[in-house]
């Protein structure tokens, strides 16, 4: 009998992935062989598992003999199945290093590829994800946005990461990378967010960096109120922005990954990829344990990296989002389950 096993990668990240495995007896030893990678776990919350990367299992609904041919489908001129490539993308943006992904694939799929193969996948399909989300506009963006900036060293230079998040949906509206912290760079961030949201905010909360003062008025006009202080300590609509504090901590994970690269263009590409992973794939406590894009829109372009790494013969689809409040959670912040229904894309658009 085969089983579906869920594994948290990396441990403590909140990113769970499903694998179908089969138990094999070799003498007195019992091993579990991975049959296929399924995708990001959608039933994680209903299983009894320990935290910290532990694994849970339950009987698979299908046997290995009934696996769909799509599971082994490949990209044109690529030998590796599309689902395995999508798995590598999820691992990378979940915080795993290329070396760790290489070891995981060696263990799960008995493959021996160089790290450059995985890196080429990351670059190629990050660009594809950016292309697919170019015209996406979230529908339920609120009127209060929170901005902040972090930094890292790139040789003898300092690279600044600017981020602007919607406090209502936790949707990351814009990220910007620069070598300076001037008002010009702050304005670029504001205009990127306005373009994505299709609106201007009533309030923007920032720290006390003076660059924001001119940038916000130039970008949005005098009707937008600017609040300065500690952006992650403000009260928004009567509730604490503790959710945004959690977002701030996730930036440390991004910086850890980016510190391995020494050119600004690569960092900018990965920043855009990280934004997509955060908005569309990463479960967010502030949204009720669904990705921000599903909280902010009734239609999303994909549900996981498998919808970015599309094999030959598989049509591109969008998903209609239906949210249901989880009745078993009666105290605290509401927790939602999302049902994603495939819909055909209007190719005339």
Reported pTM: 0.75
Cis (ω within 30 of 0) for the bond into 10?
A: yes
Diameter over CA atoms, the chain = 76
For residues 55, 58, 59, 61, the Cα torsion angle rounded to the nearest 10 degrees is -100
Q: In what order do the strands lie in the sheet with 203-206?
A: 172-178, 157-166, 144-154, 203-206, 225-228
Q: In what order do the strands lie in the sheet with 336-344?
A: 299-300, 317-325, 336-344
Instruction: Write down the pLDDT at residue 47.
Output: 38
Instruction: Write down the pLDDT at residue 28.
Output: 66
Q: Helix H segments across 201-320?
A: 211-220, 242-258, 264-276, 292-296
Give CA–CA dist 142/213, Å, rounded: 21
Query: Please, which residues have CB within 8 angstroms of residue 122's CB and are 6 or more apart in sequence?
Result: 88, 89, 92, 98, 270, 273
Instruction: Write down the pLDDT at residue 49.
Output: 37
Task: Enumerate domains of the chain plus CATH numbers.
Answer: 1-67 (no CATH), 144-291 (3.30.420.10), 299-344 (no CATH)
Helix (H) or strand (E) holding 100: helix 98-109
Instruction: Write down the pLDDT at residue 346.
Output: 57
Positions in the chain whose pLDDT score sits under 70: 1-3, 9-15, 25, 28-30, 36-72, 230-249, 345-349
């Amino acid at each position: 009998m085969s089983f579906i096993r869920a594994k948290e990668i990396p441990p403590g990240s909140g990113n769970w992935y499903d694998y179908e495995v089969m138990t094999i007896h070799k003498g007195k030893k019992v091993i579990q062989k991975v049959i296929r990678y399924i995708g990001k776990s959608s039933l994680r919350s209903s299983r009894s598992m320990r935290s910290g990367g532990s694994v849970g299992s339950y009987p698979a609904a299908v046997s290995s003999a009934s696996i769909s041919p799509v599971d082994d489908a490949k990209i044109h001129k690529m030998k590796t199945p599309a689902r395995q490539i999508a798995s590598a993308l999820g691992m990378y943006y979940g915080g795993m290093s290329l070396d760790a992904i290489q070891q995981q694939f060696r263990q799960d799929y008995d493959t021996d590829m160089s790290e450059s193969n995985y890196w080429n996948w990351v670059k190629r399909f990050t660009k594809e994800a950016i292309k697919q989300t170019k015209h996406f506009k979230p529908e339920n963006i609120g009127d209060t946005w929170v901005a902040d900036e972090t930094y890292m060293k790139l040789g003898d230079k300092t690279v600044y990461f600017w981020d602007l998040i919607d406090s209502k949906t936790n949707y990351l509206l814009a990220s910007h990378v620069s070598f300076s912290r001037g008002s010009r760079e702050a304005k670029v961030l504001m205009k990127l967010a306005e373009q994505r949201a299709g609106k201007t905010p009533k309030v923007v909360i920032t720290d006390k960096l003076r660059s924001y003062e001119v940038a916000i008025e130039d970008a949005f006009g005098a009707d937008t109120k600017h609040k300065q202080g500690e952006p992650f300590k403000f009260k928004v609509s009567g509730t604490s922005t503790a959710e945004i504090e959690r977002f701030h901590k996730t930036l440390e994970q991004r910086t850890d990954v980016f510190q391995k690269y020494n050119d600004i263009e690569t960092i900018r590409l990965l920043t855009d990829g990280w934004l997509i992973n955060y908005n569309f794939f990463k479960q967010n406590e502030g949204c009720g344990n669904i990705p921000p894009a599903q909280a902010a829109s009734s239609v999303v372009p994909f549900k996981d990296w498998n919808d970015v790494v599309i094999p030959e013969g598989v049509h591109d689809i969008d998903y209609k989002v239906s949210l249901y409040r989880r009745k078993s959670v009666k105290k605290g912040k509401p927790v939602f389950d999302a049902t994603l229904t495939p819909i055909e894309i209007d190719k005339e658009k």
